[in-house]
Structure 1
Amino acid sequence: MAGSVNMLNIGKSGLMISKQSMTTTGHNISNVNTEGYSRQNVDQTAGPTITNGRLSFGTGAWAKSVSRVSDEYLDRRIQAESKNMANVEEKDIYLQQTEQIFNESNNDGLNQLSAKFFNEFRKLSTDTSSSAIRASVREASVQLTGDIRRMDRELKEVAKNIDTRIEGYVREVNSLAKEVRDLNLDIEKAELGGGQAPDLYDKRDLALKKLGSMAEISTNRDKNGRITVNMQGHAALVVGENLNPLEVLRTPPDPASGKKEGSLDIFVKDPVLTKLTNRITTG
């Protein structure tokens, strides 16, 4: 009778493992289009052995854990390349805008207008009494100065847009850093009693991927599984449960020297404000 019960328990354990595997497979299929999701596997192990005299009997299979199928090396490479791609794309946006402002691809760009301006002066130097040449010099001067004013106006608008974009980026970086910090706490809480949190790890990895596409970061994992995020090797954005946000401040005007309001500077609050602007080379 005991042998029959043991056989039934072994069969039951096999059915339970199969059920858990099917549930995990269904979870994988349901999340096939979920951004940042990593496939999960049920890791199984042999149940404890029962010894009866000189004989040992198995007790079937147990579900040991549900693990994520991920490659940390590939994740780091993707994070690094995402940052490089985002950096190139961002530069391309403003280089294209600058190219359009200088308008060198057409016949009325700065080079052409400058050449026309100096050519008209050369003509005037050979015939200073010609009213037609004087009128041409006047027209070339008006065109050149008008185009320079237009470029100055449009370049200032581009600079203003860049400042707005920087402020938006800092807000997003802070939001992602806070998300990583919160997930550090959630993962630690979930694993305190021996539990697992594969979906939380996916969310944290996705937040790190997005963060890595916006700034040059490095990460380290402590013994509790919490991630530390350093920016440009100079600023600790996230240290376990602590968050050090970025701040954007504009250089104040200096009435004594007549200096107007300057450009934006980026600081990290750790815990006092530390300027990062000159240290940021990419991202």
Structure 2
Amino acid sequence: MSLLNVGSRALLANQAAIQTAGNNIANVNTTGYSRQNVVLATMPGQLTGGGYIGKGVDIQTVLRNHSDLLTRQANAAAATDAGDSARLERLKQLQDVFSGGAAGLGSAINDMMNAFSDVVSSPTDLTARGVVLTRIDETARRMRDGAGRIEEIELAVAEQLKGAVNVVNNLARDLAQVNQEIVRARGNGQAPNDLLDRRDQLTREINKYVQTTQVAADDGSVSVFVGASQPLVLGGTAASLAIGDPQDFGSGSGQKKLLFIPANATAAQAIEMNDSMLGGGQVAGLLRFQNGDLAEGRNLLGRMAVAISEALNSQNKLGLTLDGKPGENLFKTITLANAVPGNKNTSGAKMGVEVADASKLQASSYSFTFTGADSGTVTRQSDGKIFPFANMGELNALMLGQGLRLTDGAAPPATPGAFAGATDKDQFLLTPLQGVASQMQSVQSSPRQLAAANPVNAKMGAANDGSLQLVSLKATGKTWDAALGQVVNTGALTLPPSPVPPATGAGVTLTFNTTAAGTTFTLAGNTATPIDMSATPPKEMTAPYEYIPGKRISIDGWEITLQGSPKTGDTVTVGNAADPQYGDFYQRDAGNASALMALRDAKMFDGASLADGFAGAMAQVGTRTQSAKFAATLSSTIAANLERERAAVSGVNLDEEAARLIQYQQAYQASAKMIQIAQNIFDNLIQSVGR
């Protein structure tokens, strides 16, 4: 009977081995399946006088080939890969908004600025003026198109985030249920391999969206944590995630956050998760794009829209139209939104903002934290730089350095520099350039409204004996700010006196005096101290004013440059170009058109010219995209390598299983032969006893 028992056990063991190998082969393409092996153990031998006689084999368990370490590493790498890939996909779409070529925004800007050259050559040509207005309208349209495409990307990202979070919540519930089934199944003392594979696969799926960490419990369940500490799945209980607005500034911030909602809690009890703690996963990658890359794209586009419209509007308003009237805006005035107050603010103070100097604008948002009514810090979010301020004067000066002027936030007209009323721990988020590109719109349709002429005209004194010559004369709108101790561009222009009827030589007169010590000049008719614009930085001049050929001198918002050597008594008179004493010369003058065209080379975007501003923005977005592409390629390679290492342990190798089938088949046949021999021996024994 012992031989028969040994054969029977061997037959059953090899049958189980064949069945397990067959199961492996059947599931070779099943996602998440781990290869299984039958674990066999020798039965305890029977003691006899001649020693221990073996009693065969016993099936101990069916073990799945699995490495916790490799699985965790592969999950983490897959999460990083998913996050980098999701961000790269959206960055490519953002890069399309900042594309070059004839259909791009940069081409439209350059065409617009170059169109002024024909007006400079022929200021009375209505066709040339009409082309300028057409180019202005095309630039505004492409700017709005770019803003619209960014909005479409944002909507797509929002929907993708919602969909990803819904998938995670469903997977978390499934994982919690599998945990419960595993706990029940472990009551029989054996590992439920298929359920364990199912749980590992669910964990892998969750990691594609949100990176997790897992902690095993003694009962066989596994708890899954997100954001390093929040329990998404705790044994058989699942929490949930949601996408919402930041709790400090709400929807006005333009940002999105991942919210953790504990089990049996309401949405109002959601916990805002720190983006830096999310790690990888599609959700983390999309949030990084939404709150970082997309915000920068909006700021870059918004800064171009504001800078271009402000620069051209200001300069056009400094000139004269074909009808001799002051110019008006070429673009619709862009309104900057008030700062968003923190949800925990107690003061009720409002913070508004307006453009002070378009050339100093930064493609950034700003956060303000007050440590008192007049002190605190400002954080520039584009680079994280922190600026402290000890009083409101320092705060206003600080923001003027960023090209912005704070206001009281009241309905227009707001009061510049009047922001006040903040209290300790108040916070504000200022996003001045977010979404403003959609406001860009041309407002002039008549070519006659293009203010191509200078509002001032100059005449040399009839009795001049020297070689004094006029190099340039243009309106700039730049004045001296005594509080800041620097030149600011306010668009303010004080035209020379214009008596009625006009007096001969009426205006601002420069009278020169030449001595052995040098040449100086005096002024008459001006309202402000002249500014030496050739100095670095520009500075106010002191009387008697030194004359240096080629020096740019700003007076009352207009700028004159003279060349040559004047004699004592020589004069230059700058008068109001609309005075009848100059006749209709303003119709043939293109001084302001030249100033408009010169804006093409004005330093506007972090030291880059207006014409090169779009190229700079395109390079910034392109650099982000290339960096993201490198990161995605690297993380994909690492994830693929770790997955191959995991699959080498857990995956099914058909050649190996085929070889094992033959091995188990032969063992099965030998076991059957053993039973046959035992049967024959038993039959012979019965027959012998029967005789």
Q: TM-score range by the shorter chain?
A: 0.7 to 0.9
The answer to whether residue 83 in structure 2 is matched with residue 91 in structure 1 is no
**Partner deviation per Cα, 1:225-258 (whole Å, 9 max, x = no partner):** 2111111214210111221111233579x9xxxx
How many angstroms does 1:49 deviate by?
A: 2.7
Provide the secondary structure at the position in 2 that maps to 1:34: coil
Q: Could you tell me how far 1:263 is from its partner in structure 2?
A: 4.8
1:8 maps onto 2:4 in alignment: yes
Contact 2:171/2:202, CA 8 A, preserved across alignment: yes
Alignment counterpart, residue 205 of structure 1, candidates 186, 194, 200: 200
Q: Secondary structure at the match of 1:129?
A: coil
- Structure 1 letter corresponding to 2:272: K
Kept in 1, the 8 Å contact 2:216–2:222? The answer is yes
CA apart distance, 1:82? 1.4
Residues 1:240 and 2:235 are matched in the alignment: yes
1:46 aligns with 2:47: no
1:246 touches 1:266 (CA, 8 Å); kept in 2? yes
Cα distance per residue 1:17-68 (max 9 Å; x no partner): 0001011111111111111111100000011233346732221100000000
SS in 1 for 2:47: strand
Residues 76-126 of structure 1 deviation map (CA, whole Å, 9 limit, x = unaligned): 22212211221222122212222223332x222112212222222455456
After superposition, the Cα gap between the structure-2 partners of 1:281 and 1:224, relative to the gap in structure 1 and judged at 3 Å, is closer
Q: In structure 2, what is the equivalent of residue 175 of structure 1? A: 170
- Which residue, out of 240, 243, 268, partners 2:260? 268
| Whole-angstrom distance in 2 between the partners of 1:233 and 1:250 | 21
Counterpart Cα distance in 2 of 1:138 and 1:23? 82
CA-to-partner distance for each residue in 1:136-156, whole Å, 9 max, x for gaps?
Answer: 211111111001111111211
Distance 1:158 1:277, change over 3 A: farther
Q: Secondary structure at the match of 2:224?
A: strand
The alpha-carbon distance between structure 1 residues 219 and 161, as it changes in their structure 2 partners (threshold 3 A), is same
Letter in 2 for 1:268: F
In 1, the alpha carbon distance for the partners of 2:229 and 2:124 equals 67
Report 1:75-114 matches (<5 A). 75-104=71-100, 106-114=101-109
What is the distance in 1 between the residues matched to 2:196 and 2:279?
A: 30
The alpha carbon displacement at 1:9 in A equals 0.5
Alignment of 1:149-188 (within 5 A): 149-188=144-183
Inter-CA distance 173–45: structure 2 relative to 1 (3 Å threshold)? same
Q: Aligned-residue CA RMSD in angstroms?
A: 2.3
Aligned partners of 2:214 and 2:224 also within 8 Å: yes
Matched residue type, 2:224: V
- 1:151-172: CA deviations, max 9, x gaps? 1112111101110110000001
For residue 150 of structure 1, what is the amino acid of its counterpart?
A: D
Asked if structure 2 preserves the Cα contact closer than 8 Å seen for 1:44 and 1:64, the reply is yes
- Matched residue SS, 2:233: strand
Q: Give 1:218's aligned residue.
A: 213
In 2, the alpha carbon distance for the partners of 1:274 and 1:15 equals 59
Return 92-101 or 142-151, whichever deviates more: 92-101
1:189 corresponds to which letter in structure 2? R
The partner residue of 1:73 within 69, 74, 78 is 69
Matched, 1:27 2:27: no
The residue type equivalent to 2:185 in the other structure is A
What is the CA–CA distance in structure 2 between the aligned matches of 1:79 and 1:203, rounded to whole Å? 14
Instruction: Measure the CA separation in 1 of the matches of 2:8 and 2:213.
Output: 47
| Kept in 1: contact 2:246–2:272 (CA 8 A) | no
Does the 8 Å contact 2:80/2:279 carry over to 1? Answer: no
Q: Is the CA contact 2:82–2:280 (under 8 Å) kept in the aligned structure 1? A: no
Give ranges in structure 1 of 5+ residues lacking alignment.
Answer: none
- 2: CA distance, partners of 1:277 / 1:150: 34
Distance 1:197 1:75 in 2: 18
Q: In structure 2, give the amino acid aligned to 1:70.
A: H
Residues 44, 63 of structure 1: 8 Å contact kept: yes
Q: Secondary structure at 1:79's aligned position in 2?
A: helix
For structure 1, which segment, 215-224 or 155-164, has the greater mean C-alpha deviation from structure 2 after superposition?
A: 215-224
Query: How much has 1:200 moved relative to structure 2?
Result: 0.7
Q: Which amino acid aligns with 1:49?
A: G
Q: Distance in 2 between matches of 1:278 and 1:108?
A: 37
Distance 1:87 1:70 in 2: 26
2:428: which partner in 1? none
Distance 1:173 1:128 in 2: 65
Which residue type is aligned with residue 117 of structure 1? M
Alpha-carbon contact 1:267-1:277 (below 8 Å) kept: no
Distance 1:174 1:96, change over 3 A: same
Looking at structure 1, the residues matched to 52 and 274 of structure 2 have their Cα atoms a distance apart, in angstroms, of: 68
SS of structure 1 residue aligned to 2:188: coil
State yes or no: 1:227 paired with 2:222.
yes
> Whose Rg is larger?
2
Say if 1:187 and 1:138 are closer, same or farther in 2 by CA, change over 3 A.
same
% identity of equivalent residues? 23
- Which of the residues 143, 147, 159 maps onto 2:142? 147
Give the secondary structure class of the aligned counterpart of 1:192.
Answer: helix
In terms of mean alpha carbon deviation, does 121-130 or 60-69 score higher?
Answer: 121-130
Contact 1:191 1:197 in 2 (8 A): yes
Instruction: Assess, with a 3 A threshold, how the Cα gap between structure 1 residues 281 and 179 changes in structure 2: closer, same or farther.
Output: same
The gaps in structure 2 that reach 5 residues or longer are 282-691
Q: Which moved more, 1:172-181 or 1:266-275?
A: 266-275
| Amino acid across the alignment from 1:137 | V
**C-alpha distance in structure 2 between counterparts of 1:207 and 1:123, whole Å:** 67
Does the 8 Å CA contact 1:50/1:57 hold for their aligned counterparts? yes
- Are the equivalent residues in 1 in contact too, given 2:76–2:280 (CA < 8 A)? no
